[in-house]
Structure 1
Amino acid sequence: MLHASATPNAGSAAERVYHEVKELILTNDLAGGELISEGDVATRCEVSRTPVREAFLRLQAEGWMRLYPKRGALVVPISDHEAHDVVDARKLLEEHAVRAVVDDPVAVTALVTRLRENLAAHRAADPDDVAEFSRIDAEFHQIIVAAGDNPLLAEFFVGLGERHRRMTTASVHRDVAVASRILTDHQQLLTAIEQGDADIFADALASHLAGVHDIRTGGRR
C-alpha cells in the first residue's frame, strides 16, 4: 500500500515518490504486470502529478516501469532472461570470492563470524515481513562477495542487490516454503566456507539459486 513519507527532509517530492514506489516494486507489493496511475500515486503520496511523473520517468529509465500515455505505468515483470542473467552473475561473483578466501584461515574465520551473525538475525526475522527478510538475505550474499577483497566486484554485486531482492520477494510470495529453504541453504553455504571447500560451496550455491528462484537448468526458458 502506498502512503506518504513522514520524513520532512527526505529530499524533493519526486525523490520521495521515486524511492517509495521503487521499494514497493522491489518488495513485490507492486507486482510485475500491475498497471498504476499517476493520479493514484499522487493522491496517496499527497503530492501533485508533476513529481510523480518525474519519478515514473526515472523508474522507466532504470527498467522498472514502462509508461503508456493516458493509461499509466506498467510494472515490468521479471523476465526469464533477466532471472537467468542475475543468477549467472551471482554464481560467478560469489564463487570467485569464496575461492579467494578459503586458503586464508584468518579471512575464513572473519567471514564465518559475520555470516553466523547474519544467519542468526535471519532466523529471528519474521518471514511475513518480506521486505526485511529479503534485505537480510541479500546482505548474506553481499558479505560473501565483499570478503573476496575486490572492491570493483563487490560494488558490481551491490548493484545487483535490487534485482536480487525483487527476485527473492517474488519467490517468497510465490511459495511460503521458500523462506525456510533459504535459511537451510544459507547454513549449508556457511558450512562449506567454514570447511574451506569452494567446490562444495559452488555446487550448493547453484542448487540454492536454482531452487529459490525456480531456475531450470540446461538453458533459458
Structure 2
Amino acid sequence: MTSPTGPVAAEQAYAFTKARILSGELSGGQLVSEGAIGAQLGISRTPVHEAFLRLGAEQLLQLVSRKGAIVRPMTPTEAADVLAMRRGIETSAAGQVCAAGGPSERTTALLRENLERQATFVAGSDVDGFVAADDDFHALIVEASGNPIAQNFYEQLRGRQQRLRNLLLRIDPANLASAHSDHHRLAGRLIAGDRPGFDAALVEHFDRYQGAI
C-alpha cells in the first residue's frame, strides 16, 4: 500500500492531529512529536510539520524548536470568549427564526430526532456520540435562521466549541443529562417562537459551561 504524500499527507496529518486535540485525547500542555504522528500515519515528518504549522496558526499548537509542538491549553478566558461569541450568534439566529414564526417542519423534525439521539447517548454514557449530537443540535438552530453570515461565523467557531464540549462533558459525565435537558428547553422555546424564553434558556445553558471551566 502506497503512503500518501504531499498535500494529501499534510491534510491527513492535520485532520488526525486536530481531531485528537479537540477530543481531549491530546491534552493541553502535552508535547506532540512530528515523528510520532508521522509513524502513526505512515508518512514522513515533512507533511506533519506542515500540518503543525497550520494548527499553530489556529492556536491549537505551540511549535517548539526541534521538539515538535505543545498542545495549547484552553484557558478560562478563551472558554468565556467562545461562549460569548456562541451566545451572540445563536441568540441572533433564534431571533430570526422566531420572527419568521418559528422553525420549518423539517427543522422541527430534525431537532426532535436529534434530541432522541441525545437521549440514547445519555443512557449509554457515550460522551463522543453526545458531543457530536450536541454540535449538530446547535448547528441546526443557526442553520434554521437561513442567515449565511451567521452560519459562516458558527463554522469558524466549531472546532473550539467541540474542544470546550469535550472538556466540560468529560469533567463530569453527569453533565450529559443536564445538557440534554437544556436542549429540550431550547428546542421547545424555539418551536414555540418564544424568543425571550429561548434567550433565557440559552444563558442558563452556557452558564453551566462557565461553571465547569
CA contact (8 A) 2:27 2:71 kept: yes
Among 180, 183, 208, which residue is 2:180 paired with? 183
Q: Gaps spanning 5+ residues in structure 2: where?
A: none
CA contact (8 A) 1:15 1:55 kept: yes
For 2:39, the aligned partner's letter is T
**Superposition deviation, residue 177 in structure 1:** 1.0
Does residue 38 in structure 1 map to residue 43 in structure 2? no
CA contact (8 A) 1:168 1:213 kept: no
Does residue 210 in structure 1 map to residue 211 in structure 2? no
Query: Which residue is 1:131 aligned to?
Result: 128
SS of the aligned residue for 1:96 comes to helix
In the TM superposition, what are the counterparts of 1:8-19 in structure 2 within 5 Å? Answer: 12-19=8-15
Query: Which residue is 1:169 aligned to?
Result: 166
Q: 1:106 to 1:52 in 2, by over 3 A?
A: closer
Query: Which residue is 2:53 aligned to?
Result: 57
CA contact (8 A) 1:102 1:108 kept: no
Query: Which residue is 2:148 aligned to?
Result: 151
Residues in 2 aligned to 1:177 and 1:215: alpha-carbon distance in whole angstroms:
12
In the TM superposition, what are the counterparts of 1:92-107 in structure 2 within 5 Å? Answer: 92-105=88-101, 107=103
For 1:41, the aligned partner's letter is I
Q: Report the aligned-residue RMSD.
A: 2.4
Deviations 1:104-149 (A, max 9, x none): 3463544332211111122223665433321211111111011112
Residues in 2 aligned to 1:54 and 1:101: alpha-carbon distance in whole angstroms:
41
Residues in 1 aligned to 2:31 and 2:126: alpha-carbon distance in whole angstroms:
24
Q: 1:113 to 1:105 in 2, by over 3 A?
A: farther
SS of the aligned residue for 1:125 comes to helix
SS of the aligned residue for 1:74 comes to strand
Q: 1:182 to 1:82 in 2, by over 3 A?
A: same
**Superposition deviation, residue 215 in structure 1:** 6.4
Q: 1:108 to 1:98 in 2, by over 3 A?
A: farther
TM-score normalized by structure 1? 0.86
Among 25, 28, 31, which residue is 2:21 paired with? 25
CA contact (8 A) 1:97 1:148 kept: yes
Decide which moves more: 107-116 or 197-206: 107-116
Q: Which runs of 4 or more aligned residues in structure 1 lie more than 6 Å from their structure 2 counterparts after TM superposition?
A: none
TM-score normalized by structure 2? 0.89
Residues in 2 aligned to 1:188 and 1:90: alpha-carbon distance in whole angstroms:
17
Q: Per residue, is there more helix in 1 or in 2?
A: 2
CA contact (8 A) 1:171 1:213 kept: no
Query: Which residue is 1:117 aligned to?
Result: 113
In the TM superposition, what are the counterparts of 1:62-73 in structure 2 within 5 Å? Answer: 62-73=58-69
Does residue 91 in structure 1 map to residue 87 in structure 2? yes
For 1:188, the aligned partner's letter is R
Q: 1:154 to 1:140 in 2, by over 3 A?
A: same
Query: Which residue is 2:196 aligned to?
Result: 199
Q: Gaps spanning 5+ residues in structure 1: where?
A: 1-6, 217-221
Residues in 1 aligned to 2:190 and 2:157: alpha-carbon distance in whole angstroms:
22
Aligned length: 211
SS of the aligned residue for 1:32 comes to coil
**Superposition deviation, residue 24 in structure 1:** 0.5
SS of the aligned residue for 1:31 comes to coil
Residues in 2 aligned to 1:51 and 1:110: alpha-carbon distance in whole angstroms:
42
CA contact (8 A) 1:125 1:133 kept: yes
For 2:40, the aligned partner's letter is R
Q: 1:214 to 1:164 in 2, by over 3 A?
A: same
SS of the aligned residue for 1:114 comes to helix
